[in-house]
Amino acid sequence: MGKTLTIAPVSRIEGHAKVTIQLDDSGNVEDTFVNVVELRGFEKFCIGRPVEELPRIVTSICGVCPWSHHLASAKANDAVFGVEPPVTGRKLRELCNAIAFTEEHILHFFFLAGPDFVMGPGADYATRNVIGIAQANPEIGKKVVRNRHLGAQMLNMISGKSIHPVTAVPGGFSKPLTEAEREKLVPMAEEVLEFAKFSIAFAKENLFPKYLDVIKSLGVIETGFLGTVSDDGALALYDGTLRLMKADGSYEEFAYDQYTDFISEKVLPWTYLKFPYAKNWGEGFSMDLSAPKGIYRTNTLARINVADKMATPLAQIEFEEFRSKFGRPAQQTLLYNWARLIELLYNAELAVKFLNDPDITNPETQVPVTPRAARGVGCIEAPRGTLIHDYETDENGMITDVNLIVGTTHNNAPINMSVKQAATSLIKDGNYNEEILNMVEMSIRAYDPCLSCATHKLDGTLAVKIDMLDAKGNLIDTLKN
């Protein structure tokens, strides 16, 4: 009799996911499904609103990475109005983006994915969480809080608000940075850089070596990758060209507003969330593990894979080591965590660099804009993947059409595939336990998915729930942590 295992909700990801594992009659994995929540109705709500309101409104889409939505929307506005922000306006946006990235990557590594590595995937569920980290490593916990606090304070000083930002506006940035503010910010950014250096050194020395075997096997799938690069091929987060790489390492590049020529979205009946795929490869869409079609990934590992180099010196050293160890493109899903720490270092370096740039305190930070009928695409690399805002307006600057593709949506198919790979390799003859189920969850957490809602479960009382159903859908057993 076939069984269905349901893991719901997956813990320590940004929001919820429900994993269903369908076993065949012999207790081996037949299929898996990852269901996630999608924000519904946002596009419809935007129709008829002034386009310049969107950078402010979109920060409410997601409480996890509001800066990414804010900046992608501001860039889409620039395109709609047909303007380029002044150099300083652009640099202030990039500075905020870099700081927001450091906050987010620290959050993910130490709070969400970290417990699996710090405490170990087999550690008791009651301690394999952020409280476990705080108790086992109080000094690290203290530094994490301190550096996230510094990030939030820097964003407050630069923009007035760190949680619901409003300062990126069509045509630039509404608040120039004063010299007095810059002088206060420099040592704060330098302190975060020291922590970024500590983080990657700590992980490379104490965490990753212990789990290299797991990294090399868990959730490994073969896909293409999507990310942004600058003109010289360096990893870029705020602006550049999209590079879509096949699993064999060959790639094509395209401008943001051409994304519909390269990417299409597949709809499947069991989930609201769409499955973007590379339509220009001309092979269609398939999540078959042995012969995937059209599947690409975004987020940290994707960006490191598509880039030729890093634009900052310390991150470049880490990048070279990573590439020499794992090749290009690296396919091991858990390497997202390693790649995340390289990006943490890069963003911390970038923040220091911008704050020492003489342009940064120039008072010319925005240009005026005039409404017109146009289409504008704003794209940015969010911590969780490539984020696309695509707007169309009428001659009065009112929205007539909106399309958003968020980072986690790009990774919908790969997440499903990694879960299937992990479950298939770990669950045999109907045998499974808590550690195995956590390893399946780890393969999802590596992607740092952001599901726009709000519950975390840490003490194990309900985080992972397994419903076993027979082939007719009758509940025959339930297991809880």
Partner 1 sequence: MTNIDYYPDYCRKSNLVLGCGNVLFGDDGFGPAVIEHILEKRKVCQDACFLNTGTSSRKILFNITLSEKKPQRIIIVDAMECGKKPGAVVEVSLDSIPENKIDDFSIHQVPTSNLLRELRDFCGLEVIIVALQPPNIPSEVDPGLSQAAQCSVIKAADHILAILQDVK
Q: Which of 420, 344, 411 is nearest to 5 (CA)?
A: 420
| Member of 40, 179, 205, 248 binding partner 1 (CB under 8 A) | 40
Q: How far is the CB of 60 from partner 1 (least distance, A)?
A: 5
| Member of 41, 269, 358, 363 binding partner 1 (CB under 8 A) | 41
What phi and psi, each to the nearest 5 degrees, are found at residue 30?
Answer: -95, -45
Site for partner 1 in 7-36 (CB under 8 A): 8-9, 15-16, 18, 35
The tokens describing 18, both together, are 């429900």
Angle at 147 between CA 210 and CA 158, to 5 degrees: 140
- Our CB check for partner 1 shows the closer of 92 and 150 to be 150
Site for partner 1 in 151-190 (CB under 8 A): 152-153, 163-164, 184, 187-188
Candidates 165-173, 326-334, 428-436, 460-468 — which segment interacts with partner 1 by CB under 8 A?
460-468
Q: How far is the CB of 459 from partner 1 (least distance, A)?
A: 6
418 contacts: CB under 8 Å, gap ≥ 6? 219, 220, 221, 333, 443, 444, 446, 447
Are the beta carbons of 411 and 298 closer than 8 angstroms? yes
61 binds partner 1 (CB under 8 A): yes
CA atoms within 13 A on the CB side of 146: 14
N- to C-terminal Cα separation, the chain: 24
What phi and psi, each to the nearest 5 degrees, are found at residue 339?
Answer: -60, -35
Radius of gyration for the chain, computed over Cα atoms and rounded to the nearest angstrom: 22
- Our CB check for partner 1 shows the closer of 184 and 216 to be 184
- Our CB check for partner 1 shows the closer of 32 and 88 to be 32
Are the beta carbons of 217 and 425 closer than 8 angstroms? yes
Q: How far is the CB of 152 from partner 1 (least distance, A)?
A: 7
Are the beta carbons of 237 and 97 closer than 8 angstroms? yes
Candidates 58-66, 93-101, 196-204, 348-356 — which segment interacts with partner 1 by CB under 8 A?
58-66
- Our CB check for partner 1 shows the closer of 278 and 450 to be 450
Q: How far is the CB of 119 from partner 1 (least distance, A)?
A: 14
| Member of 7, 100, 118, 150 binding partner 1 (CB under 8 A) | 150
454 binds partner 1 (CB under 8 A): yes
DSSP 62-83: -SS-HHHHHHHHHHHHHHHHT-
Angle at 323 between CA 121 and CA 236, to 5 degrees: 95
| Member of 50, 82, 138, 160 binding partner 1 (CB under 8 A) | 138
Q: How far is the CB of 37 from partner 1 (least distance, A)?
A: 5
| Member of 145, 255, 373, 471 binding partner 1 (CB under 8 A) | 145
- Our CB check for partner 1 shows the closer of 260 and 478 to be 478
- Our CB check for partner 1 shows the closer of 110 and 173 to be 110
Site for partner 1 in 95-124 (CB under 8 A): 107, 110-111
**Rounded CA separation 403/398 (Å):** 15
- Our CB check for partner 1 shows the closer of 165 and 171 to be 165
Q: Where are the beta strands (DSSP E) in 106-169?
A: 168-169
The kind and range of the H/E element at 277 are strand 275-278
Q: How far is the CB of 126 from partner 1 (least distance, A)?
A: 10
226 binds partner 1 (CB under 8 A): no
319 contacts: CB under 8 Å, gap ≥ 6? 235, 304, 307, 309, 310, 342
- Our CB check for partner 1 shows the closer of 39 and 314 to be 39
Site for partner 1 in 393-452 (CB under 8 A): 452
**Rounded CA separation 422/432 (Å):** 12
- Our CB check for partner 1 shows the closer of 37 and 314 to be 37
What region, left, alpha or beta, does residue 5 occupy, with left being phi > 0 and alpha being psi -120 to 50 degrees?
beta
Instruction: Scan for tokens 């189920």, then name that residue.
Output: 437
Which residues of the shown chain bind partner 1 in the complex (CB under 8 A)?
8-9, 15-16, 18, 35, 37, 39-42, 44-45, 57, 60-64, 66, 107, 110-111, 129-131, 133-134, 138, 141-142, 144-146, 148-150, 152-153, 163-164, 184, 187-188, 191, 452-459, 462-463, 465
